[in-house]
């Protein structure tokens, strides 16, 4: 009897271990970069930024990607040039457009967890250029002051962006409008391709606060997107203009400690999109 009990306990432990591994992997942000469109072909896996894919030996040879998380792929090194953004990916695989070339890549969101409360601010339109990241209020943006052209927020909290320092001036609340849910994993996010879409001038953001501090609320445009394995590439609509560096901006790490925030209302549910879409002015 004791032998059977020991065997049963061992079996339960093994099943629990396998289940934990599956859950951990499903919630893990990753990107597999394939060298051709063959799903069984060779690939290189990323879990962090690469400002120049020459270093990994895969510059301009990525043809297919499988990923979890919000990954950004760029035509140029150092996150410049035309960008390809696949928002709301959980264990999704997609062929890149035939015209795509990728020389750098990074993700949006917290490096700790997919649904952690976080913001990414970019000096270029369509998530290009230098980046400032954080998860706490900032009364001023330091060297990024008056330099932000696009942004992403993640997690279950809105953020408010101000045109004045110390939370003064015009205030715009951005809610995490989109909920991505697949394979037991979910996370919240929202994207602003151009700061001007918020109704304020480009390069006008000067401070950031967690929570919705304004009646001016930007929720973005709800998307009705479906999961697809290998849809045809979406048509290129022009080319994203190269954005110059603003001074000598450096990448900033997390600011403050993550805190739990209650689930916000009115979230739009989205499934996986099709192939990667080139982000271009006018979209």
In the prediction, which pLDDT does 86 show?
82
Q: Which single residue is written with the structure tokens 């110390």?
A: 166
For 249: left if phi > 0, alpha if psi spans -120 to 50, otherwise beta; the answer is beta
- 206 in helix, strand or coil? coil
Q: Is the dihedral of CA 271, 283, 151, 122 positive or negative?
A: positive
Q: Which fold has domain 2-279?
A: Gamma-B Crystallin; domain 1 (2.60.20)
Among residues 115, 107, 202, 211, which one has the least CA distance to residue 159? 211
Residue 133 CA from chain centroid, whole number: 12
1 Cβ partners below 8 Å, 6+ apart? Answer: none
DSSP3 helix / strand / coil % (the chain, rounded to 5): 15, 30, 55
Residue 149 near residue 279, CB atoms below 8 Å: no
Residue 178 near residue 192, CB atoms below 8 Å: no
Among residues 150, 131, 222, 161, which one has the least CA distance to residue 191? 150
pTM, entire model: 0.73
Q: Could you say which residues of the chain have pLDDT below 50?
A: 2-25, 222-277, 280-283
What are the distances in angstroms from CA 128 to CA 93, 119, 120, 275? Answer: 23, 15, 11, 20
Residue 25 — φ and ψ, nearest 5°? -70, -40
Residue 9 CB: number of other CB atoms within 10 A?
Answer: 10
Domain boundaries, the chain: 2-279
What CA–CA distance (Å, rounded) separates 81 from 77? 8
């Amino acid at each position: 009897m004791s032998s059977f009990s020991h065997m049963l306990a061992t079996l339960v432990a093994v099943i629990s271990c396998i289940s934990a591994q599956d859950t951990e992997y499903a919630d893990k942000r990753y990107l597999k970069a394939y060298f051709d469109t063959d799903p069984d072909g060779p690939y290189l896996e990323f879990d962090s930024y690469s400002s120049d894919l020459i270093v990994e030996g895969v510059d301009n040879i990525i043809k297919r990607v499988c990923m979890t998380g919000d990954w950004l792929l760029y035509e140029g090194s150092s996150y410049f040039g035309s960008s390809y953004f696949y928002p709301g990916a959980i264990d999704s695989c997609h062929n890149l457009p035939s015209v795509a070339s990728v020389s750098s890549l990074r993700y949006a969101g917290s490096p700790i967890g997919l649904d952690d409360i976080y913001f990414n601010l970019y000096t270029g339109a369509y998530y290009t250029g230098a980046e400032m990241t954080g998860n706490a209020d900032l009364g001023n943006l330091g060297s990024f002051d008056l330099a932000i052209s696009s942004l992403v927020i993640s997690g279950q909290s809105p953020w408010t962006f101000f045109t004045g320092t110390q939370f003064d001036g015009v205030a715009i609340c951005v809610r995490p409008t989109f909920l991505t849910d697949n394979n037991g994993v979910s996370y919240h996010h929202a994207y602003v391709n151009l700061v001007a879409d918020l109704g304020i001038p480009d390069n006008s953001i000067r401070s950031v606060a967690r929570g919705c501090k304004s009646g001016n609320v930007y929720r973005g445009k709800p998307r009705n997107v479906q999961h697809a394995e290998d849809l045809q590439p979406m048509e290129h609509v022009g080319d994203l203009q190269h954005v110059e560096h603003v001074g000598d901006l450096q990448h900033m790490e997390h600011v403050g400690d993550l805190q739990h925030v209650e689930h916000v209302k009115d979230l739009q549910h989205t499934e996986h999109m099709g192939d990667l879409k080139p982000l271009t002015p006018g979209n």
